Amino acid sequence: MRKSAILTTLTVALIVFALAGCNLLPDGHPPAPPTPTPASISQVVATPAAPTGGSGVSAATATNVPAPLSGTGRQSDVVRVVQTVGPAVVTVVNQLGSNDPSGAGGEALGTGVIIDTAGHIITNNHVVEGQQSITVIYADGKKVNNVQVVGSDTLSDLAVLKVDGNVPATATLGDSNAIMPGETVVAIGSALGDFRNTVTVGVISGVHRNLVGTDTSMEDMIQTDAAINHGNSGGPLINLDGQVIGINTAILRSADFSTDVAEGLGFAIPSNTVKNISAQLISKGKVSRPYLGVTTLAVTPSIAAYYNLQDAQGNQLDSGAFVRQVRAGTPADRAGVQVGDVISGINDFKIDTDHGLGTVLTSFNPGDTVTLHLLRNGSTLDVTATLAEH
């Protein structure tokens, strides 16, 4: 996303934070330095032979000139994806008002994708945050003003907009649980806010990535090396079946206090999360989450070593949620959860590096009674908690 009035990107508390010594930035990064001018054609093809006749065209030149692309040979999987989903991708223009978190006002730009014929559009919360009014620009350049914000959710960084009238196209949300590392994906978005429907291609680099910051975190993210730039926020990440399997949200640019620069580390919200959140926003304008009432830290080998966390057999733990705080009067407090406990699972769901506590909790609803599997001072115990609504 880009804020043209002050020539900076929209800073978003949810997305911009230190990632264990790393900087996570919304939408992408500044343009790369100019690419050196490539070698001329004469440097990479055979030296032309003497003309063979009156045509003045050498044999070597005639041999090395590629035939024009035409017909079905040009219709690659990527082209078909772009032709199918591209018309459903929109530019979102946010006219910032007094609610702008930065206080600077001006204009911010991002991307969205139309998901149904009723005119609902998925984008990021940080694209529409602080809005005074929203304008949507279709892929063909048509503008729609006074777009309704149906609802937004800070924790997931998702928002749903709505336009009236006929829409040019809709995109289908696929099953993000079925994606595989190495699978080819396509990202479409308004790069830098100006280059509408920019297409980039990459692969799924990883799944179930957790981006943990000081005050917040995003769990179960899709990692991709498809280029994600400022303005791509809220745009679709698409598989070769033409299904949206993620909403592009952030990149990892570099490590603090380091000269290392990371490239190709983009992150998208999985489509199954998008389905769940958008359905709630559309139906009731908000998201109801099950609430346990604990502050936790994901257990890693270093965390386990620091706190001397062990299982019943005396082995060092490598997963779970280490409880740092239990809020008074909450379900966890009433269930007897204590600071220093490790929540290893809920019902049949294990808490591990791929499935954090927040992700596991989304499998339940407020009011559900669940069994918490705990490790306390090397011993296992189960407690029962009835989840509240967050």
Residue of 152, 156, 217, 233 with catalytic role: 233
- For domain 290-389, the CATH architecture is Roll (2.30)
pLDDT at position 1 is: 52
Q: Yes or no: say if 254 and 23 are a contact pair by the CB < 8 Å rule.
A: yes
- Report which residue type is found at 313: Q
pLDDT at position 49 is: 35
Strands (E), 256-368: 266-270, 290-291, 294-298, 321-326, 342-346, 349-350
Q: Yes or no: say if 1 and 125 are a contact pair by the CB < 8 Å rule.
A: no
Q: How many CB atoms lie within 10 A of CB 375?
A: 21
Residues ≥6 apart with Cβ < 8 Å to 128: 92, 94, 110, 134, 149, 152, 159, 161
* Known active-site residue 157: yes
State which fold the 1-29+77-287 domain adopts: Thrombin, subunit H (2.40.10)
* Known active-site residue 278: no
* Known active-site residue 29: no
pLDDT at position 63 is: 41
pLDDT at position 217 is: 67
Low-confidence stretches of the chain (pLDDT beneath 50): 2-71, 214-215, 257
Q: Yes or no: say if 63 and 48 are a contact pair by the CB < 8 Å rule.
A: no
pLDDT at position 137 is: 95
pLDDT at position 363 is: 84
Give me the residue spans of the domains in the chain: 1-29+77-287, 290-389
Percentages helix, strand, coil for the chain (3-state, rounded to 5) are: 15, 40, 45
Residue of 126, 230, 355, 373 with catalytic role: 126
pLDDT at position 362 is: 82
Residue of 27, 153, 157, 220 with catalytic role: 157
246's enclosing H/E stretch is: strand 243-255
Report d(CA 321, CA 297) in Å as an integer: 6
Q: Yes or no: say if 158 and 122 are a contact pair by the CB < 8 Å rule.
A: yes
Tokens encoding 224: 């991709």
